[in-house]
Structure 1
Amino acid sequence: MYNESVIPVKTESFSGMAAKSTFCTLKHNLMNSFYCSSPLSQCIQSVLRRACVEKRLTIGLLPAIQYLSSNCNSALFCLTAEAPPGDSATHMQEVLLQAFCAENEIYTLKVDSEAKMRKMLGCRTTADFSCVLVHYPYTDPFSDSQDVDLTALSDAEKDLIDHCESTWGFAQVPVIKLPEK
């Protein structure tokens, strides 16, 4: 269904067999159609735009880390862009952030371009868009229930959750190719 927008990850391993096994699993699960725009990238666009309008985004790697240190239960998705080659400091921060998200059951998505994410949100600034947190929809503060209301999620958010659930056990998060437009 969303297979066309996923780019195969490059696994680095001491064992060529482990790398081949991981790629074969990705290839099998995602049916080898990686490079076209798809409904998955459109779901991301829909989720980002809705969350932006509803003011439930945290933009930037350091603001995301700061937010998660005190509010990890209110984050739904963590979208990260691929770090530029050779930027080991950003890469280490992203790896730690992804591990934190996995530990706290926050869905992580990796996209191919920080610039495309910035463009999706209609921002013209050069701010850091290497990480975008999408928070759960706001709930009624006077409600007795402290649980997240899953009926408040949009169809696009539910589709992204399904995608994340299907890739949860992967060693590396597959990279989603965002549309150029």
Structure 2
Amino acid sequence: MCIAKGTEKCKMINRNKLGRTLRTTLTTARVERRLICGLLPAISHLEKTPDEVVLCVLPTARPGDAATHIQTVLLQAFCYENYIPVIQVDSSDKLAKFCGLSTKKDNNSCNCAIITRDVTLPISGEDVIPLTENEQFLTDFYECTLEEFPRPVIELPI
């Protein structure tokens, strides 16, 4: 479902609270064991059950890492084909922190995070995956910014 640019919903999105909303969403998903961190675990999960994923979070690409860049581009394409919103963030270190990864070695492996659906929320008759309020806010932001170039990058709070 795409939202036409310029609708009231798009005008109502407060971009100043995106970072805090994403932090809360990542933290909640981690506590509820719905957060998968790392490129390879994310790809593995997406291969098996792409319909269970509600959001993909990617940090901006690090210069000089061509292999990760190629994998990330392919992951974005896969998400786009499967109608999975992709949110880009400013820092892999901050993303690693919110994923619960603490060591520098772990931070290097946090070049992607996906959030799976909340199984406690019932699926409606139309097979629409139910979203939490924060997930819906982030999905609305993604849909409203689909045509923006360059893609907006959310600054995660410290």
TM-score by length of 2: 0.79
- Output one character per residue of 1:94-126: Cα deviation in whole Å (capped at 9) or x when no partner: 011000000000000111101011223443133
Aligned length: 143
Q: 1:96 to 1:121 in 2, by over 3 A?
A: closer
Contact 1:44 1:156 in 2 (8 A): yes
Match among 122, 125, 132 for residue 113 of structure 2? 132
Moved over 6 A (4+): none
Matching of residue 66 in structure 1 with residue 44 in structure 2: yes
Alignment partner, residue 83 of structure 2: 105
Structure 1 unmatched runs, 5+ = 1-28, 31-36
Alignment partner, residue 29 of structure 2: 51
- Output one character per residue of 1:31-68: Cα deviation in whole Å (capped at 9) or x when no partner: xxxxxx93000110011011011100111001111111
Q: 1:172 to 1:94 in 2, by over 3 A?
A: farther
Contact 1:139 1:148 in 2 (8 A): no
Structure 2 unmatched runs, 5+ = 1-9
- Between 1:161-170 and 1:74-83, the stretch displaced more is 161-170
SS in 1 for 2:156: coil
Matching of residue 123 in structure 1 with residue 101 in structure 2: yes
Alignment partner, residue 24 of structure 1: none
SS in 1 for 2:49: helix
- Between 1:156-165 and 1:114-123, the stretch displaced more is 114-123
Alignment partner, residue 53 of structure 2: 75
Contact 2:89 2:155 in 1 (8 A): yes
Contact 2:42 2:114 in 1 (8 A): yes
CA distance, structure 1, for counterparts of residue 58 and residue 129 of structure 2: 25
- Over alpha carbons, which structure has the higher Rg? 1
Alignment partner, residue 64 of structure 2: 86
Match among 144, 147, 154 for residue 127 of structure 2? 147
Alignment partner, residue 12 of structure 1: none
Q: Aligned partner of 1:80: which letter? A: L
Deviation at 1:86, TM superposition (A): 1.3
- Output one character per residue of 1:117-153: Cα deviation in whole Å (capped at 9) or x when no partner: 1223443133211100001111479x89683452xx3
Contact 1:139 1:149 in 2 (8 A): no
SS in 2 for 1:169: coil
Q: Aligned partner of 1:109: which letter? A: I
TM-score by length of 1: 0.70
- Between 1:117-126 and 1:49-58, the stretch displaced more is 117-126
